[in-house]
Amino acid sequence: MKFPILSICLASLFLSCSVRPAAFLPDAVPPPPDYSKSEYWAALPDKTDPADQTPAATFENLQAEAQVDVFFLHPTIYWQKTAKPWNASAEDQKLNEKVDKTTILFQASAFNGSGKVYAPRYRQAHLRSFFTEDKASADQALEVAYQDLKRAFEYYLEHYNQGRPFIIASHSQGARHGYRLLREMFDGKPLQRKLVAAYLVGWPIPESGFDNIPPCETPDQTGCICSWRSYRFGYVPKNATLGDSIIVTNPLTWTTEKTPASKTLNEGTILRNFNKVYPQITDAQIHNGILWVHKPRFPGSIFFTRKNYHIADYNLFYVNLRKNAMRRVDAFWK
């Protein structure tokens, strides 16, 4: 049984066996996206895309009537061993289709009940950027990716936002860029007043990273940050940023308390079949800067032996996340 989002663990092992890539070359970077054209957006409220879908009849796509926006920054989907450029092309149709069928469908769609979903395509850095010893090339590739997302956000503000409040939602590489975006454009600045909440999931976010934006401590708090990285209960990842100075939100209680949250609080997990919701298949507990999760129980889970649940940070708590975003929007207006 596979989760629908990219397996960082398997991909990193795959990459470790590949030939060392050439150093980053600015002339090899694909052309920048033109955000005035809809094809450079994986999701827009006024076009049909996977972010419009819902996994069950009990959920509704409410973007048409939403008074809040969601700016979604997707994770790394560019990881092929044979890929030579450090940055993906925003015009790579095969890759774009993979983005749409994975992260946009299984992650961005969680927010179509709370806001109008905007998800820019960008020249995402190759997965090797997070594992290579060539840090100079990795930094340059990640800079290209960040500048795309910053330009996309600026275009969104000027042409789409129309003064509405918004949620920043992201995962993995997207959360890394989202963290920087909040630091540069929100922290202590006028835009902070429009922030309903930020979901910076799958990346270690230090509490000390912000002067004015706090971690979310309650399910109704606004103007704050939620973040978590999921691992199997009892597992402590090597070479990961750990410690109580890292923001960790329990997505079953929406607090930062370390008390275990029972799986009875888990309202629904989405696995490979987007239209199938599995309630109460796993719990959650904060531990030393990460989120511990007991092995999920689902048909075929006997073959699921992975200890790093990064790929399922959203999937494991899909329904709880969907409802929490709606709850924070209501609290913002009140």
Q: Output the pLDDT for position 10.
A: 39
Beta-ladder partners of 87: 125
Tokens 């209680």 locate to 253
From residue 106, how far is each of 6, 84, 272 by CA, in Å? 12, 28, 9
Domain ranges of the chain: 8-226+325-333
Q: Output the pLDDT for position 178.
A: 98
Q: Output the pLDDT for position 15.
A: 43
Amino acid type, 24: F
Can you tell me the distance from the alpha carbon of 320 to that of 113, in angstroms, rounded to the nearest whole number?
A: 12
H helix runs in 157-283, sequence order: 173-185
Q: Output the pLDDT for position 139.
A: 97
H helix runs in 223-294, sequence order: none
**Residue ranges in the chain whose pLDDT is less than 70:** 1-20, 83, 303
Taking residue 293's Cβ as centre, other Cβ atoms within 10 Å add up to 26
From residue 256, how far is each of 215, 250, 294 by CA, in Å? 8, 6, 18
Question: What's the pLDDT tens digit per position in 219-275?
Answer: 999 999 999 999 999 999 998 999 999 999 999 999 999 999 999 999 999 999 999
Are 111 and 167 in contact by the 8 Å Cβ rule? The answer is yes
| Token code pair at residue 332 | 């913002």
Question: Over 119-177, what HEC string results?
Answer: EECCCCECHHHHCCCCHHHHHHHHHHHHHHHHHHHHHHHHHHHCCCCEEEEEECHHHHH
Question: What's the pLDDT tens digit per position in 43-57?
Answer: 999 999 999 999 988
Taking residue 326's Cβ as centre, other Cβ atoms within 10 Å add up to 17
